[in-house]
Structure 1
Amino acid sequence: MTTENSAPVSGSIMVVGGGISGLTTALEAAEVGYEVFLIEKEASLGGRVSQLKHYFPKLCPPTCGLEINYRRLKDNKNIKVYTLSEVQKVDGKPGNYTVSVKTAPRYVNSNCTCCGECAKVCETEISNEFNFGMDRRKAAYLPHNMAFPQRYVMDPAMSKDDREKVKEACKYNAVDFTMEERTFDLKVGAVVFATGWQPYDATRIDNLGFGRYQNIITNMMLERLASFNGPTEGKIIRPSDDKAPETIAFAQCAGSRDENHLPYCSYICCMASLKHATYIRAQYPDAKIYIYYIDLRTPGRKYENFYAKLKADKNVFFVKGKVAEVSEESGTGNINLVAEDTISGEKIRQTVDMLVLATGMQPTCAIDKPAADLTFDDEGFIINDFSKGGLFAAGCANKPADVVTSNQNATGMALKAIQTLRR
């Protein structure tokens, strides 16, 4: 029994989502002494940041931020990490929640040394979702080079023969196919949802041809192509023929600021395309880059200066106009696009080697709503109710945001969670 001024039933905090916002929330709470349960549905922490080549404001590689956080995580005994895990239900009230968590089997235990012998003998291949299906990987795999925990995963799709092979190949008795899915309850005083975002499904944008034409890709696919641990080891090439592109167009607001898709601005897309232009220019100094936009949003002096440098580049062209339709040039795989220049009023027809769709961010909760007493806006973002307390949203679960803003917000949500426990 508790009174209004006594300690809550539970002094623990749960953070749902192990991306940059979830990591920040968990670490900020744990480093001031609170027990934290960090729940991540993927096999590794890191979220979207782990898929980037560089991120703003300093254009750091993911290793810059993630490795520091992983070190802090290893050094802190207050954090318990559950990967391949999802929250099934949240019951209770602020200070006293019961959370049901379901964990899928990894089929690999803590003996794993990441020697890779299991992958060498495994012949079963699966689509590599980390690279958005642009390549395939073995069914015995390390999620990526910065995976945390550094432990292999055995995909359930692995053939029976391969299961025997990988088990025999493992010298450390780390492979265990007897592992089963399990569900358990955790008692916590507050829950922070840092469930992040999904790239908007570009196949739903009928007029922009994604999925029909091979040389139309999304901004996150380009990010993976440019990354040294991506499907092409950092080489930006056309998917159809591995050709070095000489002309590349970007279609901004692909599915964003559109009442038929995402009605809001996703905040990150303009800066992402400007960053991608620097990737291309670094590899192909003579390539011509065309950025079709409604209006460019570069908030803050640093971002505006970044835009000004690209605007001065003689091989980067900014066209104020939205790409309306696309088609494929017969025999070449080149992309024909049609847009209207809103300044001159002229219709533009252009052929490029490759088209990049700057798709927006959709909150994961719009696709998979948590079974908890949360309030959502029309787009699926969680609305924080600070008067009620107990359940909060951090980072892109709450609003479209870049890495810096997400981290700042996550620190605030850690404090809100702590305040719930201290009432």
Structure 2
Amino acid sequence: MTIDKAAPASASILVVGGGISGLTTTLEAAETGHEVILVEKNAYLGGRVLQLNQYFPKLCPPTCGLEINFRRIKDNPAIHVQTMTEVVKVEGAPGNYEVTLKTRPRFVNNNCTGCGACGEACEGEIENELNFGMDRTKAAYLPHPMAFPAKYVISEYISADDKKKCEEACKYAAIDFSMTETTTTVKVASVVWATGWKPYDATRIDNLGFGRHQNIITNMMLERMASSTGPTEGKIVRPSDNAAPKSVAFVQCAGSRDENHLPYCSYICCMASLKHATYLRAQYPDAEITIYYIDLRAPGQRYEKFYNQLKEDEKVFFVKGKVAEVSEADNGSVTVVAENAVSGEKVRQTADLVVLATGMEPSLASEKPQADLTFNDSGFIKNDFDKGGMFGCGCANKPADVVSSNQNATGMALKAIQTVVGR
């Protein structure tokens, strides 16, 4: 397998995006004998799943599903992985596409053993994007303990002094500051867009106070807190003072099902908050948890059973009502104002921590590629199976959980193969 080298001049299929959908599509296609180029804009594979503490249906850690996929990719010579790479444009027709790729420099070559000497020598720090800016990391860093490829990355913002220190610390001649951005062209028969999703920008929801008050966080920020690889090493605390929260309020549909933001249901938010309640209950048995919701959606028998178990918890309260306002109270606490849709009463609750269940926005919504793709009004790819050739997969196509994304990815791999064999 080729990692972080120039992609071959031609292949059967190009997969854009190395999250769980892209990995599944790549493996399904390659294991039927097709040459696959997998490109990922980040410095590592794994996508959003890599950022999770646990994921449904078995509440596994990311290692549970990703490690075996990384091994299968590593062992398959038909798969060519290129990280820090984006698609510039796609020209041509089904069965005969010419794709222009742009690759950013890692400043670390394949000699890297992941020893960490460069990170120890480097003194400068940058914002840690993996943890949504809740902490900082060295300018020479391994993106994640289970990063694949397991190679360090050096930020373009590293100082000249730190450059010298990194070069001197590396015993393997793995540091290469002569690397520059490169552009390459590949020919493929089919393209699968597994570009995934991004959390909706909660600062755009003025009435919910995110960005103005420290103790209002998003669901993905809490997910990183709960992870042992996150900014607090698995401890869920108030950002303002690192105190254990005695009360937590979840605000569902934060930006979703709202014509001013995301008009659709993001599918995963209800189950994510229920899962987060179990994280909190495990760490803080006496903490009180309140979930404000419009409708609670638990699709399928297994999810419904999970929901019913939480309803029996005396420390978990469900309030049917849309939150009107979230504002700061005394001592860093946060006040939530909502109308109880059942009783008609106005509810005011003060909590130590508020978690906004922000929705799922397709990654291509704001920056659409130069390719013959059709999008709906929300930025999701609309597949044209009659035309074939290019397909949106997983959350690039619609909001979905990990299970549904994997199922969809298998189907899109088959569609891509049909384009290849039919040309």
Q: Could you tell me the TM-score, scaled by structure 2's length?
A: 0.97
1:242 aligned partner: 242
Structure 1 residue 327, shift from structure 2 partner: 1.4
Structure 1 residue 284, shift from structure 2 partner: 0.3
Does the Cα contact within 8 Å between 1:10 and 1:421 map onto a contact in 2? no
3-state SS of paired residue (1:417): helix
1:325 aligned partner: 325
Distance 1:123 1:162 in 2: 7
Correspondence 1:335 to 2:339: no
1:78 aligned partner: 78
Structure 2 gap ranges (5+): 1-8
Structure 1 residue 405, shift from structure 2 partner: 0.2
3-state SS of paired residue (1:367): coil
Does the Cα contact within 8 Å between 1:11 and 1:421 map onto a contact in 2? no
Distance 1:224 1:386 in 2: 37
Does the Cα contact within 8 Å between 1:250 and 1:273 map onto a contact in 2? yes
Distance 2:413 2:367 in 1: 23
Counterparts of residues 277-292 of structure 1 (less than 5 Å): 277-292=277-292
Does the Cα contact within 8 Å between 2:95 and 2:190 map onto a contact in 1? yes
1:123 aligned partner: 123
Counterparts of residues 90-129 of structure 1 (less than 5 Å): 90-129=90-129
Structure 1 residue 312, shift from structure 2 partner: 0.1
Does the Cα contact within 8 Å between 2:256 and 2:359 map onto a contact in 1? yes
Q: Once the two structures are superposed, what CA deviation does each residue of 1:139-195 show, in whole Å capped at 9, x if it has no partner?
A: 000010111100000001000000000000001110000011100000000000000
3-state SS of paired residue (2:420): helix
Does the Cα contact within 8 Å between 1:86 and 1:101 map onto a contact in 2? yes
Counterparts of residues 342-381 of structure 1 (less than 5 Å): 342-381=341-380
Q: How many residues align?
A: 414
Q: Could you tell me the TM-score, scaled by structure 1's length?
A: 0.97
Does the Cα contact within 8 Å between 2:10 and 2:186 map onto a contact in 1? no
Distance 1:328 1:374 in 2: 44
Structure 1 residue 326, shift from structure 2 partner: 1.6
Counterparts of residues 376-395 of structure 1 (less than 5 Å): 376-395=375-394
Structure 1 residue 252, shift from structure 2 partner: 0.1
Structure 1 residue 37, shift from structure 2 partner: 0.4
Structure 1 residue 255, shift from structure 2 partner: 0.2
3-state SS of paired residue (2:332): coil
Distance 1:130 1:333 in 2: 26
1:194 aligned partner: 194
Structure 1 residue 11, shift from structure 2 partner: 5.4
Does the Cα contact within 8 Å between 1:10 and 1:95 map onto a contact in 2? no
3-state SS of paired residue (2:145): coil
Structure 1 gap ranges (5+): 1-8
Correspondence 1:61 to 2:54: no
3-state SS of paired residue (1:261): coil
Structure 1 residue 121, shift from structure 2 partner: 1.1
RMSD between aligned residues: 0.9
Does the Cα contact within 8 Å between 1:192 and 1:417 map onto a contact in 2? yes
3-state SS of paired residue (1:365): coil
Distance 1:242 1:63 in 2: 27
Distance 2:354 2:379 in 1: 29
Structure 1 residue 108, shift from structure 2 partner: 0.3
Does the Cα contact within 8 Å between 2:11 and 2:36 map onto a contact in 1? no
Residue 171 and residue 11 in structure 1: after superposition, are their counterparts in 2 closer, same or farther (change >3 A)? closer
Distance 2:215 2:204 in 1: 17
Structure 1 residue 10, shift from structure 2 partner: 6.5
Distance 2:288 2:11 in 1: 57
Structure 1 residue 367, shift from structure 2 partner: 1.7
3-state SS of paired residue (2:92): strand
Distance 1:80 1:329 in 2: 53
Structure 1 residue 245, shift from structure 2 partner: 0.1
1:40 aligned partner: 40
Structure 1 residue 133, shift from structure 2 partner: 0.1
Q: Once the two structures are superposed, what CA deviation does each residue of 1:270-289 show, in whole Å capped at 9, x if it has no partner?
A: 00000000000000000000
3-state SS of paired residue (1:123): coil
Does the Cα contact within 8 Å between 2:219 and 2:355 map onto a contact in 1? yes
1:6 aligned partner: none
Does the Cα contact within 8 Å between 1:16 and 1:192 map onto a contact in 2? yes
Q: Once the two structures are superposed, what CA deviation does each residue of 1:88-137 show, in whole Å capped at 9, x if it has no partner?
A: 00000000000000000000011111111111110110000000000000
Does the Cα contact within 8 Å between 2:238 and 2:244 map onto a contact in 1? yes
* Letter paired with 1:166: C
Distance 1:33 1:302 in 2: 35
